[in-house]
């Protein structure tokens, strides 16, 4: 392919990425600013780690982070199971009763505004509580159920598209050699699509960790998640501790993504060398 470099395109890309990253970088820089005003650089006392210290001792934020973590892990694990089942069904079974509905139900959450999903879930929980007594009040359980409902849609898309590019001859070959369909799934399909499932897990976890709107609707007293706490702080304006939180989040995500990429590149390099 002719990799013609167009100056117009290169400029667009440069500006585009600058647009995406300047705000992030500014947050990181100002997390080291001693001034409480955040964006007015206090050169006398900066750079400083005092806000880092303050954040890591902030009970409210730490409690909220812990709740977000719990909800995130349970949500991701549950979503992966539901999403893999749905993704597998949609990719492999060309015709079954309810296929159209299942397809619609797994793509709608991807575009639906969260206020609508959040409102509807809350009203469901209230109605359920009235009729059958469960769930008793909103809290971590209802939040997790709400998160799982929209996360599984994303996992379905990831798994479904991975299976679409998966040579079904592999599954046929395994059956031909004597393995029953269930065994084929666990011994052949699952190990091969495992990276997709893992990225689905990470996607579901991130969506849950960052979610504000659905969490606000479906949470109860004492179950505030990290985004909910951040939002209440941020409504009033800037806060240096939030800058610190942002820096920490970005660092963790960057390390993870860079780490995974390096690990995958290394693995393929090793395999090529062994050939």
235 belongs to the binding site for other proteins (CB under 8 A) = yes
Place of tokens 């015709």: 95
Residue 10 or 49: the one with the smaller Cβ distance to other proteins is: 10
Phi-psi region of 181 (alpha: psi -120 to 50; beta: other; left: phi over 0): alpha
Q: How far is the CB of 67 from other proteins (least distance, A)?
A: 15
CB 228 within 8 A of CB 216: yes
Residues of span 117-176 touching other proteins by CB under 8 A: 117, 119-121, 123-124, 126-127, 130, 145-146, 148-149, 152, 156, 164, 167, 169-170, 172-176
If the CB atoms of residues 48 and 145 are measured against other proteins, the closer one turns out to be 145
Q: Look at residues 222, 208, 250 and name the one whose alpha carbon lies nearest to residue 73.
A: 208
Residues contacting other proteins: total by CB under 8 A: 113
Restricted to residues 50-109, the positions that interact with other proteins (CB under 8 A) are: 81-83, 85-86, 88-90, 93, 96, 98, 101-109
* Assigned token pair, 246: 């942002």
Tell me how far apart the alpha carbons of residues 61 and 247 are, in angstroms, rounded to a whole number: 15
How many degrees, rounded to 5, is the angle at CA 267 between CA 261 and CA 272? Answer: 125
- C-alpha to C-alpha distance for 106 and 126, rounded to whole angstroms: 24
Task: State in angstroms the smallest separation of the CB of 96 from other proteins.
Answer: 6
44 binds other proteins (CB under 8 A): no
Contact flag: residue 47 with other proteins (CB under 8 A): no
Instruction: Rank residues 57 and 180 by Cβ distance to other proteins and give the closer one.
Output: 180
């Amino acid at each position: 392919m002719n990799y013609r470099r167009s100056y117009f395109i290169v400029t667009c890309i440069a500006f585009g990425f600058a647009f995406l990253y300047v705000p992030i970088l500014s947050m990181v820089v100002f997390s080291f600013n001693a001034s409480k005003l955040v964006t007015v650089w206090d050169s006398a006392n900066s750079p400083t780690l005092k806000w880092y210290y303050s954040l890591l001792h902030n009970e409210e934020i730490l409690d909220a982070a812990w709740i977000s973590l719990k909800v995130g892990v349970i949500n991701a694990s549950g979503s992966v199971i539901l999403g893999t089942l749905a993704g597998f069904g949609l990719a492999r079974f060309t015709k079954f009763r309810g296929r159209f509905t299942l397809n619609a139900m797994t793509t709608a959450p991807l575009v639906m505004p969260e206020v609508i999903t959040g409102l509807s879930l809350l009203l469901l929980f209230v109605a359920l509580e009235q009729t059958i007594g469960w769930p008793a009040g909103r809290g971590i359980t209802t939040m997790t159920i709400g998160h799982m409902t929209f996360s599984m849609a994303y996992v379905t898309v990831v798994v479904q598209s991975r299976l679409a590019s998966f040579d079904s001859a592999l599954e046929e070959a395994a059956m031909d050699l004597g393995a029953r369909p269930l065994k084929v799934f666990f011994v052949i399909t699952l190990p091969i699509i495992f990276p997709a499932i893992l990225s689905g897990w990470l996607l579901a976890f991130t969506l849950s960790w960052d979610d504000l709107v659905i969490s606000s609707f479906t949470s109860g007293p004492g179950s505030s998640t990290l985004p909910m706490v951040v939002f209440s702080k941020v409504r009033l304006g800037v806060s240096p501790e939030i800058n610190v939180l942002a820096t920490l989040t970005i660092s963790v995500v960057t390390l993870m993504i860079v780490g995974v990429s390096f690990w995958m590149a290394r693995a393929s390099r090793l395999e090529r060398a062994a050939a």
